[in-house]
Structure 1
């Protein structure tokens, strides 16, 4: 299927809202087009004794699907999300506390039971010419929802003021048969064309169903955790694909993640009224002795120094 509304490497319209829930310490809703996930964070709060950790906070994640009850797939997604967020959150700053994260899919187009699915996305079918060709039967839904889920969870942490080492951004990529591969040509190279596939960034539900593989990439941004370029910290792939296809999808996803990060920054600045960079702090080294020509302000600094430690490398930061 061809894209008529956007390029294969273009994102759908992004949407981010923070502070939606009044009874949560932090909340955010992130959406890729018509796929939206709402996240709420409670904590740091009191934790049960059996779950208490003396050196760090306990991260508890719960997923709520759009329909039905959470099952094994939700439990696996919770473990994956915890593995991505735990190294990024400064959990040691909240010992003996609980950070409870709940995610609810609030908008997801339903294509359930519209086409048969198989554990093998590529199946062999016989064509009228007697040749056996590989036909994509889809990998099911979930790639765009997984990416929105990660972004919503990260932004709920930001809204709650939980300290982290950086920001986590996720995007989804699908590999689908190209239009040339789906045309039944009578040329001798028709069989080679059937193997052609193309990347689709931020796939729709129909593209995921027609894909041979889907990939969700998570990138961390921040000082010492990825910088401005981003470091890939997680990959969730379903289907059959080659190594080159995976690397090509990662390159496309990394550029898209930078775009999503820029959108998130603008959204946060708009909400909290942040304009530009804060002025640099003035740092003054405190010496052990006092000079003869110190003014009244320096006397106050000396009093603060006497109450603190006597280290020569102590500094004072003036906002």
Structure 2
């Protein structure tokens, strides 16, 4: 395998994440909100609930979970609606919605990047790449931790895996957290979401004091035939990255617990410019992003 193929921006190793950033936004009229980023790949999410629900959506046995995903620009298209359905499935299994019947729990996600790849821009067929999807899953988890109003079975952490292969005769190389500049070189990729919980079977904590985890969802696909062994390697690779995300979330919660509730609480591994270019207009009654 040539070094040109395996070389990564900023000299990252195949199993190295970019700098993780978590910002508790403190948005008005929501119960919890947070921004999560892998380097410059960032998403914003807010959680409202349990709140009053329309009679037509009322569920007598559990809370109704509503997910809305918004691209960086334009209106939500097919890709955003499909991603909203995925997030609803992932988080429905990690929340105790039966504790709040006849109410509504609303998630609103917003892409904060996508100018290079088209991901998050709402363009038909260009969608949300795996890393941007992972950042949105993590931002939603941190928003739930910030809200503290909906009990959780476990903490959902997600990372993206990319696949590089020079030719069919060589073994593919897996890379963690592919960024926009690497996307054209990939012949496979996917987001892996894991649920971390001490109630899962086995030892409560690993050697790194991280709870056990189980794969909740993935959309990993490749250009070639499906290989079970390769998928297992990708899953193990992603699990290590998800553990780093969990540790970062734990660190950010310590900041949240030790501080008074100011408008914004930052917990970042590297100081970055968090300004988002342009103004975003939102007509939602529950969330201001």
Structure 1-normalised TM-score? 0.70
Alpha-carbon distance in 1 for matches of 2:26, 2:251: 18
Segments of structure 1 that go 5 or more residues without pairing to the other structure are: 114-118, 120-138, 183-190, 275-319
Gap change, CA 1:238 and 1:109, over 3 Å in 2: farther
User: Which structure features the higher share of strand residues?
Assistant: 1
Q: CA deviation at 1:140?
A: 7.7
Aligned twin of 2:80: 74
Alpha-carbon distance in 1 for matches of 2:117, 2:156: 29
Q: Which of 51, 59, 63 matches 2:57?
A: 51
Q: CA deviation at 1:165?
A: 0.8
Q: Which of 117, 134, 137 matches 1:150?
A: 137
Alpha-carbon distance in 2 for matches of 1:10, 1:109: 24
Q: CA deviation at 1:253?
A: 0.6
Higher relative CO (Cα under 8 Å, sequence separation at least 6) belongs to: 2
Aligned twin of 2:237: 252
Alpha-carbon distance in 1 for matches of 2:241, 2:24: 22
The answer to whether the 8 A contact 2:19-2:38 is kept is yes
RMSD: 2.1
Q: Which of 166, 191, 200 matches 1:216?
A: 191
Structure 2-normalised TM-score? 0.77
Q: CA deviation at 1:155?
A: 1.1
The answer to whether the 8 A contact 2:80-2:127 is kept is no
Q: Which of 30, 38, 41 matches 1:35?
A: 41
Q: Which of 165, 172, 181 matches 1:197?
A: 172
The farther-off stretch of 165-174 and 204-213 is 204-213
Structure with max Cα Rg:
1
Segments of structure 2 that go 5 or more residues without pairing to the other structure are: 120-124, 205-210, 260-289
SS at match of 2:11: coil
The answer to whether the 8 A contact 1:176-1:207 is kept is no
Aligned twin of 2:265: none
The farther-off stretch of 255-264 and 1-10 is 1-10
